[in-house]
Structure formats: C-alpha cells, structure tokens
Structure 1
Amino acid sequence: MLSRRGLLAMAGAAPLVWSLSEGGSASAAVAPPADLGVQLWMVRQSMAQDFPGTLKALADLGVRKVELAGAPDLSGAELRAAFDAAGLACVSGHLPILQMTDAELDHRLAYAREIGMTTVAAPMPGFAGLLEVAPADRFAALLAHPLTADDWRWNADRLNQIGDKARSAGVAIAYHNHNVEFADVGGQTAMDLLLERVDPAQAHFQFDVGNAVLGGADPFDLLARHPGRFRSAHLKDWRAPLQPTTRLASPASAAFGQGVIDWARWRRASAEAGIAISFIERENMPVGEEVAAAGQALQYFTTLQGNRA
C-alpha cells in the first residue's frame, strides 16, 4: 500500500487543482467536488498544535466547508472568527445533544448558530438515566451501559422532542451512526429502529459509510430502503481484510481508493439519494499525516469526478 507521506504539501501550499490527464498535465485541471468538506475530528491533533495554521492548510487544499469536532475549547464567536479568517464555513457540528438536559441544549444550540452551523448532529446515543449523571462523567457512563431496545426508543423519542427546539434556534438536527447501531435489538437493528421511530420532520440522519460497513451493513441497501432520510454523509474506509463488528472497534483506516468500499458506486448512489454534503474523515492518523490525508481524499474524489464526466 502506498504511503501517504509526501502525497501533498502541507500548510503554505498553493490551492490545489489536480490534472485528470494521464501524464499529469495541467491542461485538464478541475477543482475538488463542491459537495465535499472535511470533518475536523480527523485533524484534531494538528489543530491542538496550531489551530489557525491547520485551518489555513485545509483551505489551501481547496476545502471550503468543515464540520466541527475536536476543535479547541473556544467560544462560538472565537471559532467563527477563526473559520472566517481561513475562508472556511463551519456548516455542521457534532455535539452530544442526546447527552444534554434542555438547559444545556439551549446553550449549545446558541453556540452552534454563533459559529454559523445550519446542522447539529448527535455523534453518539444516550439513555434516560444519563442526564442525571454529572456532565464530565456521562461519556464513561454511556460506555458502561449496554443499550437495549428501550434505550434506542428513548433516543428516537428524544430526537423527536428536540427537533422543534432546534428549529426555533435556526438549526436542523441529525443523528450520526457508528457501528453499534447495527447490532440486533430484538429482531431488528438499532439503526432500523431509529429510522422507523424518528419523525422525518424533526430529525434526519448523517450516513457514516465506513461505520456502516464496519457494523456489517450494506450501505447501498440501507440508502435505497430509506429514501430522503440521509442528508449528509461521512466518508471513511478501512484496510482489507475487515472483520465487521458491532462492538466498539478502531480498525486500521485506508487511503481512499485503497480500502474495501466502492466509492464510485457510493458517489453515484448518494447523489441520486439527495445527500447534499459529504465530510471526509480518515481515522487513526499520525499527526504529521492528518492534513495530507485530507489532500489525498480530495485528490481521489476529484479524479473520480473527472473520470465520471
């Protein structure tokens, strides 16, 4: 497998445009697909070292839209200023909204709007008793709590409850899947339970393709069976061979085009399904390779788009 080192220049490089001609000539250059953004979680180590520099490096790659996760603990106004300075729009964010009380949720929705988000995605589920735990201890409590079918029903109902509150704040609510949602909970997967019980008028879904495959699901079948329910996506891939599991897992990630997912097929299917924006998210990258991995992904999907034209 080719190393990602040296694929792209880091911060300070000129905005990237890639040639689609066999010899690498600049005569047939195209810009990265407009519907691709970057999930900031994949560059969290770089942001910890140099937040504005990392944002600039992404912008220099041609990135224009990002999704918040893993950024420094700054105010909404400070984050908005940093994104504006880099020429980036933070259009979406992962906030643990299913682990928040109503009062906590009001505060975080205001924070999301201050940054400029139009969507807030729940990156993980919760359960009823979790809201009685101190905020700093909630993640550990979630990991220690095996989720039942009733817990997943609670999550669906909670998404329905907060939909109006979020809409009043000017943002849409989404649910982001990992692999645990594809575990069986009484004859159906937790994901199917959520899709059946969540009111489409209150919340939509963000399709993490890599996580679905890790959970043993067929992403194309899931997309076809639930038209209109997925409005955004996360793109990540895994090295072969992949052992599917619904338990917490962190397998080795693959560079795009070198993993287990047919991305040409996915891009066609997601466009037909109306997914408006997709965020690149490589997992488990060394800090020195995070930004370069975003560049490799943009290059791959740009070439894929050009070959389809």
Structure 2
Amino acid sequence: MKKLQTGLILLCAFLSSNCFAQVQPLFTGAIGIQSYTYRNSYPNGVAAVLDSVKALGITEMEGPNPKSSNAAEFKKLLNERNISMPSIGVDYNLIIKDPEAVVKQARFFGATYVMVAWIPHGKTFTLDDANRAIDDFNRVGKVLYDNGITFCYHNHGYEFGSYGDGTLFDHIAERTDPKYVSFEMDVLWAFHGGADPAKLLHKYKDRWKLMHLKDIRKGVANDLTGGTDTKNDVALGTGQINLPEVLKAAKAVGIKHYFIEDESPDHAAQIPVTIAYLKSLKD
C-alpha cells in the first residue's frame, strides 16, 4: 500500500510539473514600442502620449525624439515615466554623412543600438543599391562599434528579390561584416516581401538583435515594394503571420529588444489587443 501511495504521489508530482511547464509564457521580454507609432499624435501633446504609453505597461521605446519635441525635453519626459530608449532609428543619408553625430545622439538617449530602416533606391531595389549599402554599412558600422554601439539594418521587404541562389537580403547579410553590422527584424515587412520570418531568424541566427512586432491584414498580397496601406497594419494575432512560430525563433536566436510598431490610424485601439495577445501566448 505504501508503495502504491508513493507511486501515486510521484505520478501526481510528475503530471503537475509537466502541466506547469506547458503553461509557461512564450513572450517574456520587456514590451517596447516604436516611437513612429505615435507620429500623428505627438503634435497634440507629447506628455499625454507618453502617459498613455506608460499606462499600457510599456517600458522601452525605440526613438529618437519626435519632431514636435526637442531631445532634452523628450528624454526628461521618458525618464519621468521610467521608459528607457535602448535603440534609435536614423536616416540612411544622415548616418553615412556623419556617423559621429549619430553616436552622439545615441549616447544622449542611452541607446546601445542604432538602426536604419530604408536604403534609398528607385522604383526597384537593385544589386547596385545593395552593394552601395554594403559598403556604407560596413564603414559606419565600424564607427559605431568603436564607440560601443551596435548598428542594425531593419529589413523593409524590397530586399527579398531574387539574386543568385537566394535574395538580395542574403547578399547583404553575406557581404556585411558580422562584427559591425547586425539586423532588426521587421516581421511584417519580411513576410510582405515573401520571406518566412521564423526561418530567416534561424538562417542568420547570430545577426538579429532587435525586432518590430507587427501583423498584416488577411488577404493582403505579398510584393517587393516595401510599402502597403497603413490600414493593413493590424493587431497581433488577427492577421496572416504565424507569430507564435516567429516568437519561438526570436527567443531561440536571442533577440534583445522587442518593439511594437503599429502604423495604423487605429493603433490606439489595436495596441491593447496586441499586448493582450502577447501575454496570452504559451510556450
């Protein structure tokens, strides 16, 4: 009888531990937001926007400051709300012209990552565009690296056109120096460009540092334009992308910071849905 009781206790403990393991949250990172999400709201009051950000439980923002607020004022407002800025986004032409100024800007906000989200190009993104960016990224990436900052290129969809045995994004990844050039995964733009975000994360597992969390409306076709109507940005879990698969891959490759970016005019209603979805996912 004692052996039976002991066996039942052990069985219950085993089942209990297994059940507990199955309900661990999938997303365990700090919830961040891309400042661009609020581009149309800032002119009506920066402090009010940041109050709403704090109320959502968001503790990180990818900046820098909006045009309607100077850097010192914006940093003060962030600090008062305990919102940090680990990353800033800058214009391609600015960073290639004056990377030292970008270093100064990043240091001011306490950012250790700088990302560029668009490579200037014509109607289509070409090999010449990619090669120019490769040279520029290797050069400015070294300047940032020497100053303790990580440079990241943020994919935008147009880089997934065919080239050789892969894509122009593959060409950029293979020709840039991993010591100086890392990447920020924009989930929507990777998917919209025809890539599989989870597979892409695993393919270049040591290069991805940051992530933009986004979803795209069901029925929207993929293309290489790097653009789509902002109304096609939808709350996470309501669109086309297999986000649990993406987040498992992101965890596996060690993404450092996650930023919700919702370009939709309905972002105020959608972001709480997105956050609830992230918190509901189980590993």
Tell me whether the two structures share a fold, i.e. TM-score over 0.5: yes
Considering only aligned residues, what root-mean-square deviation do their CA atoms show, in Å?
A: 2.2
- Asked if 1:291 corresponds to 2:271, the answer is no
Aligned to 2:117: 123
TM-aligned CA deviation for residue 187 of structure 1: 5.4
Aligned to 2:56: 61
Is 1:58–1:291's contact at 8 Å kept on the other side of the alignment? no
Write out aligned runs for 1:154-165 (5 A). 154-165=132-143
Q: Once the two structures are superposed, what CA deviation does each residue of 1:135-177 show, in whole Å capped at 9, x if it has no partner?
A: xxxxxxx4x4643212211211211111221123332100001
- Asked if 1:170 corresponds to 2:165, the answer is no
Label 1:187 to 1:269 Cα distance change in 2 as closer, same or farther (>3 A): closer
Aligned to 2:237: 257
2:234 partner SS: coil
Aligned to 2:7: none
- Asked if 1:94 corresponds to 2:89, the answer is yes
TM-aligned CA deviation for residue 203 of structure 1: 1.4
Is 2:130–2:168's contact at 8 Å kept on the other side of the alignment? yes
Following the alignment from structure 1 to structure 2, what is the Cα–Cα distance between the partners of residues 57 and 234?
A: 20
Q: Where do 4+ consecutive residues of structure 1 move more than 4 Å? A: none
The code of the aligned residue for 2:106 comes to A
The code of the aligned residue for 2:115 comes to A
The code of the aligned residue for 1:36 comes to I
Aligned to 2:252: 272
Following the alignment from structure 1 to structure 2, what is the Cα–Cα distance between the partners of residues 182 and 174?
A: 17
Taking structure 1 as the reference length, what is the TM-score of the superposition?
0.77
Label 1:48 to 1:185 Cα distance change in 2 as closer, same or farther (>3 A): farther
2:233 partner SS: coil
Is 1:94–1:121's contact at 8 Å kept on the other side of the alignment? yes
Is 1:95–1:121's contact at 8 Å kept on the other side of the alignment? yes
- Asked if 1:214 corresponds to 2:209, the answer is no
Query: Looking at CA atoms only, which structure, 1 or 2, has the larger radius of gyration?
Result: 2
| Counterpart selection for 2:38 from 40, 43, 48 | 43
Label 1:161 to 1:35 Cα distance change in 2 as closer, same or farther (>3 A): same
Q: Once the two structures are superposed, what CA deviation does each residue of 1:112-139 show, in whole Å capped at 9, x if it has no partner?
A: 211121101011114xxxxxxxxxxxxx
The code of the aligned residue for 1:115 comes to F
Aligned to 1:205: 183
For structure 1, the 5+ residue unaligned runs are 1-29, 127-141
Label 1:70 to 1:282 Cα distance change in 2 as closer, same or farther (>3 A): farther
Is 1:75–1:111's contact at 8 Å kept on the other side of the alignment? no
Is 2:125–2:158's contact at 8 Å kept on the other side of the alignment? no
Following the alignment from structure 1 to structure 2, what is the Cα–Cα distance between the partners of residues 160 and 102?
A: 10
TM-aligned CA deviation for residue 236 of structure 1: 0.7
The code of the aligned residue for 1:220 comes to A
Label 1:185 to 1:209 Cα distance change in 2 as closer, same or farther (>3 A): same
- Asked if 1:108 corresponds to 2:102, the answer is yes
TM-aligned CA deviation for residue 69 of structure 1: 5.5
Write out aligned runs for 1:79-90 (5 A). 79-90=74-85
Is 1:255–1:297's contact at 8 Å kept on the other side of the alignment? yes
TM-aligned CA deviation for residue 71 of structure 1: 1.6
Following the alignment from structure 1 to structure 2, what is the Cα–Cα distance between the partners of residues 246 and 189?
A: 11
What is the number of residues matched between the two proteins? 257
Following the alignment from structure 1 to structure 2, what is the Cα–Cα distance between the partners of residues 257 and 102?
A: 37
